[in-house]
């Protein structure tokens, strides 16, 4: 019989090896992960289109899938164009904003009668503003450059998805174990669909309201900051905070008075608080069953491995881990520790008792 110490050692080594492979193979894995997300979004949207009532008729599967494909492609093209144009203009204006920020530091030092004036380089690295904008522009360029590879992956996923169920079923030696595996997959799909549908709806609302507030006040790059707020809303806890900080900092250097800064910070803060603490919890409910501490640790872990993409995916990935671990007796304690309430459902019959 294998000793518990040997089992624990092998488990730790396996986890370390998987983590190392995820980091080393990031450039190869990330485009495929993004392709999986796009493919999942296409199928989910096709499912929504197929269930739209049109009198006594429903859209055929092929029509709904084609509409979903065109919708995703059109939305991605429009968003990428808007972000690229705004980032290009922001990169041109960045040196002006940095000089303005340095002037504000000089004014503050004069008013405080400091012998050693505060300089921007004392708090932040030299040329930090242009470099941050350039980093954002390079990120968009990188995403656009890998779009062709992502498109190829999505194309093959779409062409082969009709065979996935048959292949998945034949992975298991008995129909009972295949049925248990299909049930587990259905549970994972329900949880992720619930999370992404609600998260996307509240993220769109957050992005639109952010853009409207900035347009009403007159701050430039309203569309860019709306998209940033939309994207950052997928990142738990810190995403909403960053979504308020960026436009508020620009307001400080763009306007000569603090009135617009206070209005923007207050308005965006109210939007984030209302949606994040009142609307989203009511819609989300307790479906995820994840501990808050686990979410923060997952955010740090996946962010360190895959950057922004890992931060966006940290909650769905952790939900998958909890659901899978809860189905096996040996890994059930992990699911209990990761959960919020300790209630993680039952074992999956034979699948949970055989190793």
Q: What is the pLDDT of residues 132-166, one digit of tens each?
A: 556 555 566 656 667 778 888 988 998 888 888 88
The runs of H, that is alpha helices, within 51-146 are 61-111, 120-123, 128-145
* Same-domain check for residues 199 and 250: yes
343-349 own/partner pairs: CB under 8 Å, 24+ apart: 343/289, 344/289, 348/180, 348/183, 348/184, 349/176, 349/180
pLDDT > 80? residue 129: no
* Same-domain check for residues 105 and 229: no
Percent of the chain having pLDDT more than 70? Answer: 86
State the pLDDT at residue 351. 41
State the pLDDT at residue 346. 57
Task: Judge whether 13 lies within some domain.
Answer: no
Cβ atoms of 314 and 302 closer than 8 Å: yes
Task: Judge whether 184 lies within some domain.
Answer: no
pLDDT > 80? residue 229: yes
* Same-domain check for residues 45 and 101: yes
Residue whose C-alpha is closest to residue 236's, from 189, 292, 289, 172: 292
Domains in the chain: how many in total?
A: 3
Q: Global pTM?
A: 0.76
State the pLDDT at residue 214. 94
Segment 157-178 shows an average pLDDT of: 88
* Same-domain check for residues 295 and 351: yes
State the pLDDT at residue 180. 85
* Same-domain check for residues 294 and 323: yes
* Same-domain check for residues 57 and 148: yes
Task: Judge whether 265 lies within some domain.
Answer: yes
Cβ atoms of 348 and 184 closer than 8 Å: yes
Residue ending a domain, among 287, 314, 330, is 287
* Same-domain check for residues 130 and 244: no
Task: Judge whether 203 lies within some domain.
Answer: yes
Full residue range of the structural domain in which residue 71 is found: 26-161
* Same-domain check for residues 257 and 244: yes
State the pLDDT at residue 319. 82
* Same-domain check for residues 229 and 330: no
Letter string b/e over residues 33-48, b meaning 16 or more CB atoms within 10 A of that residue's CB: bbbebbbbbbbbbbee
Residue ending a domain, among 136, 161, 186, is 161
Total residue length of the chain: 355
Task: Judge whether 120 lies within some domain.
Answer: yes
State the pLDDT at residue 269. 93
Task: Judge whether 97 lies within some domain.
Answer: yes
* Same-domain check for residues 47 and 149: yes
Q: Is 339 helix (H, G, I), strand (E, B) or coil?
A: strand
* Same-domain check for residues 67 and 156: yes
Cβ atoms of 211 and 231 closer than 8 Å: no
pLDDT > 90? residue 36: no
* Same-domain check for residues 34 and 132: yes
Q: Is 105 helix (H, G, I), strand (E, B) or coil?
A: helix
Residue ending a domain, among 245, 264, 287, is 287
Task: Judge whether 188 lies within some domain.
Answer: no
């Amino acid at each position: 019989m294998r000793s518990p110490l040997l089992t624990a050692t092998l488990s730790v080594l396996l986890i370390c090896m998987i983590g190392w492979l995820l980091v080393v193979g990031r450039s190869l894995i990330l485009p495929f992960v993004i392709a999986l997300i796009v493919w999942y979004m296409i199928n989910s949207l096709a499912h929504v289109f197929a269930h739209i009532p049109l009198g006594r008729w429903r859209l055929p599967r092929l029509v709904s899938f084609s509409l979903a494909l065109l919708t995703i492609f059109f939305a991605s093209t429009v968003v990428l164009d808007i972000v690229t144009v705004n980032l290009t203009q922001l990169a041109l204006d960045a040196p002006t904003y940095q000089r303005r920020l340095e002037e504000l530091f000089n004014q503050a030092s004069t008013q405080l009668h400091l012998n050693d004036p505060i300089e921007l380089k004392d708090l932040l690295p030299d040329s930090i503003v242009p470099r941050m904008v350039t980093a954002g522009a390079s990120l968009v360029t990188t995403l656009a450059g890998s779009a062709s590879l992502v498109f190829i992956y999505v194309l093959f996923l779409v062409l082969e998805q009709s065979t996935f169920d048959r292949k998945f079923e034949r992975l298991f030696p008995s129909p009972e174990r295949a049925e248990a595996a299909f049930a587990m997959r259905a549970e994972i799909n329900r949880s992720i669909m619930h999370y992404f549908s609600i998260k996307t709806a509240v993220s769109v609302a957050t992005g639109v309201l952010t853009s409207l507030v900035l347009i009403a006040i007159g701050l430039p790059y309203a569309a860019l900051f709306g998209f940033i707020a939309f994207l950052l809303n997928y990142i738990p806890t810190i995403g909403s905070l960053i979504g308020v900080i960026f436009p508020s900092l620009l307001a400080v250097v763009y306007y000569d008075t603090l009135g617009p800064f206070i209005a923007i910070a207050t308005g965006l803060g109210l939007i984030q608080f209302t949606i994040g603490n009142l609307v989203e919890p009511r819609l989300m409910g307790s479906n995820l069953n994840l501990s808050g501490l686990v979410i923060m640790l997952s955010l740090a872990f996946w962010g360190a491995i895959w950057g922004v993409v890992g931060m966006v995916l940290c909650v769905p990935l952790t939900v998958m881990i909890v659901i899978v671990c809860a189905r096996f007796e040996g890994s059930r304690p992990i699911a209990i520790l990761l959960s919020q309430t300790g209630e993680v459902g039952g074992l999956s019959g034979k699948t949970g008792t055989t190793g």
